[in-house]
Amino acid sequence: MKEKVVLAYSGGLDTTVIIPWLKENFDYEVICVCGNCGQEEELDGLEERALSSGASKLYIEDLTDEFCDDFIVPCIQAHAVYGNKYLLGTSMARPVIAKRLVEVARKEGATAICHGATGKGNDQIRFELAVKALAPDLKIIAAWRNKKWNMDSREAEIEYCRNHGINLPFSADNSYSRDRNLWHISHEGLELEDPANEPNYEHLLVLGTTPEKAPDEGEYVTMTFEKGVPTSVNGKNMKVSEIIKELNKLGGKHGIGIVDIVENRVVGMKSRGVYETPGGTILYEAHQQLEELILDRETYALKADLGNRFAQVVYEGKWFTPIREALQAFIESTQRYVTGEVKFKLYKGNIIKAGTTSPYSLYNESIASFTTGDLYDHHDAEGFINLFGLASKVRAMKMQETEGK
């Protein structure tokens, strides 16, 4: 019997070409696995395409709820943002896909896993670190880095298929390179390759519209959270995946979550892309709006630092590592009382606060108001400031003494 290889299959030209390439160069039986993380119409026609290209089998695995509950929610709770802008849409999806690749490889008795990520990007790192952590005995084939791979353009890939008697519904026309799942869609290529160019939003956007074209009337939205997990939108209880879908519609309508980023890839280069994350942007803002009421000052500050570290760990493909588990354990401990309701208005790309309530709010009106209350005496501040500023005063006195000599 032939050895089996599990291929991470998206249905695009690159991964479709890899099927006959694997068979020709390694004599493998190719089993394709497509992880459905909410990419919708991109899944149409995949089975026919994979089988007609030479695969023996295609698994289309619905990972949407696992993706949302086990990978997206921890990032929301951490407020994990890479480079101050990127909400980790691709970074969060790769480990859940890799996990299922390993599970199918075990089920099928495969000896190798193959991916179609290029040698310039982050995804090669994310896929391979995950496989190494979950199945160190499995061989990893990175087609684009393999010595037997000699295709460097869409035209070359299409010609390779023609030469092998495979007719595919792909053309050599130029288009954006996109990655889509329930959380976001990314766009790279064409005019975006030059940071001096303004994005062609008329041609580019998929999930929403620009703020200029958004409705002239704002729209109020109310959300609830329980222990840091979103539970409802506008009074309707829903699971996390349904909440994200609903917020994508609302956010897209009002021009929310469009960012133009020059990011620092793990491999050392800078890349430019436009990301649409309408629902995710709303969720991050709503969750933070609630945390402001509930977390004490020191916990809030430390959580911000560790949230940035969490984002870096996820971005670098280190999901299945002790450091991610440790960071997540801290973050989850901070979510015990993050329960309440947030209200905001969506208006032309903006998320505007409209009220936040929680049974665990640390905001005390009798302390915070300008009217003197029982819990705070203005005179107490004098002694506090004297002690809090003592080090600064002592240093200033010493500087006066030494500079006067």
CB 130 within 8 A of CB 95: yes
Active-site residue, 374 included: no
Residue 86 pairs in a beta bridge with: 82
Query: Of the residues 14, 100, 126, 186, which is catalytic?
Result: 14
275: enclosing H helix or E strand:
strand 270-276
Q: Output the tens digit of pLDDT for each of the chain's 405 residues.
A: 899 999 999 998 899 999 999 999 999 999 999 999 998 777 888 999 999 999 999 999 999 999 999 999 999 999 999 999 999 999 999 999 999 999 999 999 999 999 999 999 999 999 999 999 999 999 999 999 999 999 988 889 999 998 988 888 777 776 898 999 999 999 999 999 999 999 999 999 999 999 999 999 999 999 999 999 999 999 999 999 999 999 999 999 999 999 999 999 999 999 999 999 999 999 999 999 999 999 999 999 999 999 999 999 999 999 999 999 999 999 999 999 999 999 999 999 999 999 999 999 999 877 777 665 667 888 889 999 999 999 999 999 999 999 876
Give this prediction's pTM: 0.94
| Euclidean distance between CA atoms 340 and 241, whole angstroms | 20
Reduced to 3 states, what is the DSSP secondary structure of residue 166? coil
Q: What is the pLDDT of residue 194?
A: 97
Please give the pLDDT value at position 405.
Answer: 66
Locate 298 and state its tokens.
């020191």
Q: Report in angstroms the alpha-carbon separations of 190 from 27, 187, 242, 281, 387.
A: 36, 9, 33, 25, 59
Q: Are 34 and 59 in contact (CB under 8 A)?
A: yes
pLDDT given for residue 29 in this prediction: 98
CA 41, 43, 49, 53 torsion: positive or negative? positive
Please indicate whether residue 70 is annotated as part of the active site.
no
Q: What is the pLDDT of residue 167?
A: 81
Q: DSSP state, 339?
A: -
For residue 180, which phi and psi values (nearest 5 degrees)? -130, 140
What is the number of residues in the chain? Answer: 405
Residue among 80, 65, 77 nearest 336 (CA): 77
Active site residue 123: yes
- Block residue for tokens 């951490």: 78
Q: Which of 56, 65, 69, 177 is catalytic?
A: 177
The 8 Å CB, 24+ separation contacts for 203-209 are 204/176, 204/274, 205/258, 205/276, 206/178, 206/180, 206/276, 207/248, 207/252, 207/276, 207/278, 208/251, 208/252, 208/253, 208/254, 208/255, 208/256, 208/257, 208/258, 208/276, 208/278, 209/252, 209/253, 209/255
Catalytic residue among 10, 53, 91, 94: 94
Q: Is 90 helix (H, G, I), strand (E, B) or coil?
A: helix
Dig out the tokens for 9 from the structure.
């299959």
Are the CB atoms for 4 and 28 separated by under 8 Å? Answer: yes
Question: What whole-number distance in Å separates Cα of residue 252 and Cα of residue 208?
Answer: 4
| Full set of structural domains in the chain with CATH | 4-62+88-175 (3.40.50.620), 183-357 (3.90.1260.10)
Taking alpha carbons only, the member of 57, 61, 16 closest to residue 38 is 61
What stretches of 348-405 adopt beta strand conformation (E)?
A: 350-357
Other beta carbons less than 10 A from residue 375's beta carbon: 8
Instruction: Considering the candidates 49, 100, 123, 241, report the single residue annotated as catalytic.
Output: 123
> Is 336 a residue of the active site?
no
Question: Is there a contact between 9 and 44 (Cβ–Cβ < 8 Å)?
Answer: no
